Amino acid sequence: MLVEIPGEWEEQRNGGSCLCRIGEGVMKLVIAIMLATSMAGCASEAEVKARMAAIDDGKCKGYGAQPATPAYVQCRAQLDAARTQAIATMAATPGPPVYTPAPIVVPPMPR
């Protein structure tokens, strides 16, 4: 059973297994979490995990899933899997190419 998350998940059936891809909203969430945690600077690992848990909790409740229900557990698991996949994808993606301008050679002025 999958929790339907409109605009966030796309399902692909392939031989009976479900492959879920991250939607644009999840990617924005991951980027927001990474930005918030990097700006926090002194936040401990426990504080970062607590913030991410609170964000995930709010998202799942916003989808209508109530805590301690199978739908809520499934929602939290999907958000965690999406975050893990997004982080792995970003880590494996090379950064933008570095632009190195060619040197400008100015000939000497005639006398």
Q: Report how far residue 58's alpha carbon sits from residue 74's, in angstroms, rounded to the nearest whole number.
A: 14
Mean pLDDT over residues 28-33, rounded?
A: 73
pLDDT digits (tens, 9 = 90+) for 50-106: 999 999 999 999 999 999 999 999 999 999 999 999 888 888 888 777 777 888 888
Q: Tokens standing for 52?
A: 């991410």
Say what the pLDDT of residue 41 is.
Answer: 62
pTM score? 0.49
SS3 (DSSP) at 34 = helix
